A and B are shown apart, each in its own frame.
Chain A
Amino acid sequence: MTKKLVIEHLNAWFGTIQALKDINLDIEENSVTAVIGPSGCGKTTFVRCLNRIHEVVDNAKVKGNVLLDGENIYSNTMDPVLVRRRIGMVFQKPNPFPTMSIFENVAAGLRLNGTKKKNEIADVVEKSIKMAALWDEVKDKLYKSATTLSGGQQQRLCIARTIAIEPEVILMDEPASALDPISTARIEELIQQIKERYTIVIVTHNMQQAARVSDYTGFFLLGELIEFNRTSDIFTNPGDKRTEDYITGRFG
C-alpha cells in the first residue's frame, strides 16, 4: 500500500484560536478515510487544510507539512491552485454555481482551467455526471439552472463537478448532513463506486456512516487526533477511553 497523503505536525489557527493541534497521520491511496468527532472539534478545519483552502479565510493560519505523493503542498514553491486541482473538495452544504446551468457547473472547472475543445468538455461532463449517478435525472435538462435541482441532486452535482477535474484525492465535508436518508444512501453508494479511482477523505458526524463507508477512521477531539486506525478496529476495539465514550454515544 502506498501513502497518498502524509500529514506531519499539522497545526491550524483562526486568529488566536487554535483549531488543530499537532496532527500526524497517513492516508492510504484508494482508501476511504473517515474523520469523526463531536462538532467543533476541528474536522472541517482538518480537511480544509488538506487542499489549502483553510488559508483563504481571514486571519487563518497553518503550520506543518502535508505530503502529497511525498511532495509538501505547503512548501513555498507549491502553487495552491495546482494543489487544489489534484485534491478536490465537496462541501457540507451543496454549493452549485447558482447562475450556471447544470452542464456549465460541471464544465466550469475544465473551462476555467483552460480546456477549449467543446466535444472533450461535453464528454467529460457526461462521464462525470454518470459517475456521480445523476445522469438519468438530469440528462434532459442539462441547460436548466443548477438551482432547479433538489438538495441531494445538487450535492451529487457538486461531486460530479469535482470529479470532472480528475483530482487524485476527494475531500468530503459531511456531504450528506443536509440531505434526506434516500439521498444519503445514494451518496454512500456513490462513494463505494468511485473509491477504486480516488483517495477519499470524508468527514461525518454519523458513526454508522463512518462504519459503512470507510476503511480507516480518525477520531478528533478538541482539535487533537485522539485515535487513528482501521475502521473495523476503531469500532470494535477502540484504544482510547475517549473514543469509546464517543462511539458508544456517551458524549458529543
Chain B
Amino acid sequence: MGTRFGDRIIKLLSLLFASIIILLIAGIIYELISGSARSLSTFGWRFLVTSTWDPVSKVFGALPFIFGTVVSSFIALCIALPLSMGIAIFLSELAPKKVRVYVSLMIEMLAAVPSIIYGLWGLFVMTPFLQVHVEPFLGRYLGFIPLFQGPPVGVGMLAGGLILSIMIIPTIASITRDIFNTIPTLSKEAGYAIGMTRWEVIAKVVFPQARSGMVGAIMLGFGRALGETMAITMVIGNAPAISASLFSPAYTLSSVIANEFTEATSKIYISSLIELALLLFIISMIFNAIAKLLIRKGRFSA
C-alpha cells in the first residue's frame, strides 16, 4: 500500500494547486463585481454613457475613458497592423535563415522591454519629438482634417496610439509569422508554378489560408493594447476629453485607475474605479477568448 499512497498524494496535491487557479479567477471576478456593486447600483448603465467624472460631487461616468481606451488602441492597431504583417512576411518568406534568427530575436526583445521603459522613453523622447516636428507638420499640411487640428502639445491621443503600437507589434508579428510558417510549401509552389509573383503568392495563397489566425493575432494585439497601463499613462495626457483631434490629450480606463486609485477617498469613488477595472477585465477577456479561439483554429486548419 505504501507506494500507492504516494501516488494518490501527488495526484491530490497537484489537483489542489490546479484548483487554486480556478479559485483565484472566481475570487477575482467576485471581488471585481462586489467591489463595483455600489457604483453599479448608483449609476447603472449611465456609467457607461456619461462623461462627468467628479469626485467632489460624487458623480461618475466612464465614457471619456472608454473612448480614450478604444480610440488609442484602435490607432495603435492601424499603425501596428501593416508593420507587423510586413515583419511577419519578412521573417517567414523573405529573410535568409541567419538574418531571420537575429531579427526574430530582436523583435522578441521588443516584446520583453518593460512597459515602464516605453513610458519613460515615450515621455522624454517621443512626445517632445512629436510636439516639435511631427504635429506641426501634420497640422500644416493636413490641418483641414479635424483629426489634425489643435495646438501641438506632444502628449495626447497620437502619442498614446504610437507607443501602444510599438508595444503590440511584436505580439502580432510573431504570432502571424508562426502561422505563416505552418502553411505548406507545396501550396506556395503551386502558386509559383502558375506564374505568380512572390507578392501574389503571399497575397493570394498565404493570406487566405492564414486568415483566421491573422485575425486572432490582431485581436490579441488589440486586447493587449486595451489593457496596457504604464506607457500610455505617461504619454496620453490624462485629461478626460472626447475630442476629434489626435493632438488633444485623452485618458484611458487603466490610466485613470493608476492615477486615482490611491487617492480615492469616498466609497463611491473607489467603487467607480473598481467598476472601471471590471470593464477593462471584461473587454480584455472577450478579446483574448476570441483571439485564442481563432489562433487555435488557424493553426489546425493550416
Contacts and interface: CB of A to CB of B under 8 A. Distances in A.
Interface of A: 79, 81-82
Main secondary structure of the interface of B (DSSP, over half): helix
A87 to B, nearest CB: 15
A113 to B, nearest CB: 10
Task: List 6 A-B pairs, minimum CB-CB distance, nearest first.
Answer: A81-B3, A79-B3, A79-B4, A79-B1, A82-B3, A79-B2
A86 to B, nearest CB: 14
A222 B2 CA distance: 38
Interface in B1-45: 1-4
Nearest to B4: A79
Nearest to B6: A81
Main secondary structure of the interface of A (DSSP, over half): helix
Interface of B: 1-4
Contacts of B3: 79, 81-82
Contacts of B4: 79, 81
Contacts, number: 7
A49 B2 CA distance: 22
A63 B192 CA distance: 58
Contacts of A81: 3-4
A79 B7 CA distance: 12
Nearest to A113: B3
Contacts of A79: 1-4
7 contacts: A79-B1, A79-B2, A79-B3, A79-B4, A81-B3, A81-B4, A82-B3
Contacts of B1: 79
A54 to B, nearest CB: 18
Contacts of B2: 79
A137 B3 CA distance: 36
A238 B88 CA distance: 66
B5 to A, nearest CB: 10
A79 B2 CA distance: 9
B8 to A, nearest CB: 13
A81 B2 CA distance: 10
Nearest to A79: B3
